[in-house]
Amino acid sequence: MTQRLAYCEDHGDRLIVVNANPSKRNALSPDLYGVLSDAVTLAASEPRITSVVLRGEGGYFCAGGDLDMLATRRDLPRDQRLSRIEELHDVIRAVLNCPKPVIAAVEGGAAGAGVSLAFACDLIVADRDATFSVAYVKAGLVPDGGLTSMLASQLPRATVMRMALLGEPVTAKHLFDLGAISQIEPAGNVIPSALALADRLAAGPSCAQGRIKVLVNSAQTSAWPDQMNAERDAMADAVADAEAAEGIAAFREKRSAEFSKTRGLS
């Protein structure tokens, strides 16, 4: 039986997607593409699911593209090479467009498209000494998976150029100091901390969180008037939801909101 290189654990209010290819430092695989895409699709359709957590098996998040596989693409027609890259891009889009928050739990580090995958997530919890490497240039390649856009929107140009042109790795601590990573933890505490974040999300208003995610993502590319209109429309919809009714009532009654009771009602 062929070993699956990724799998999904259903924990009721969250899905945990595990990249399970440790012998290759969890390099990307068709299995991961399929499992992750299915997970975000399920999260979008199930009110009970409030977040998706993505982690690697064996203490490393994701080494990016498998160079052995990439080497076989050299002689493919260009349209087939484009198609293979689009498979990665489709997964990145799925994570970005998922209406539920996606948390990356980065142990050990991430490289290449593994960095793209981490930065496509909404929250990154990382081992403070984990390294993020964009060393495509060392193999004569260029970043993909939306990485240049994501890095350029969050990091100083000089930092991005050193990472991309020289292939220099940076630590999670350095990225945290620059504001590009949500949370850093000591080694061994990354997964528990990511799950604790998932608990906090589960206690919150899931529909409002989804609208916030859409607004924050669109703010990076939208013109000011368009973003103002998007906020107007989102607020008009949110205020009529069951979540807002519960949240406002809880505030007025000086109690904690119980948003779990509104799942599927908004």
3-state secondary structure of 112: coil
Enumerate the domain spans of the chain.
6-202, 206-262
The answer to whether 260 and 202 are in contact (CB under 8 A) is yes
Closest C-alpha to 143, from 73, 64, 79, 241: 64
8 in the Ramachandran plot: left (φ > 0), alpha (ψ -120 to 50) or beta?
Answer: beta
Q: What is the pLDDT of residue 127?
A: 97
Digit-by-digit pLDDT tens for the chain (266 residues) are: 568 999 999 999 999 999 999 999 999 999 999 999 999 999 999 999 999 999 999 999 999 988 777 778 888 999 999 999 999 999 999 999 999 999 999 999 999 999 999 999 999 999 999 999 999 999 999 999 999 999 999 999 999 999 999 999 999 999 999 999 999 999 999 999 999 999 999 999 999 999 999 999 999 899 999 999 999 999 999 999 999 999 999 999 999 999 999 998 86
Q: What is the pLDDT of residue 215?
A: 97
Q: What is the pLDDT of residue 266?
A: 67
* Whether the domain at 6-202 and the domain at 206-262 fall into the same CATH topology: no
Q: Hey, what CATH class is 206-262 in?
A: mainly alpha
- CATH annotation of 6-202: 3.90.226.10
- Record the pTM: 0.95
Distances (CA, A) of 91 to 6, 33, 60, 158: 14, 6, 20, 28
Q: What is the pLDDT of residue 265?
A: 81
The answer to whether 11 and 18 are in contact (CB under 8 A) is no
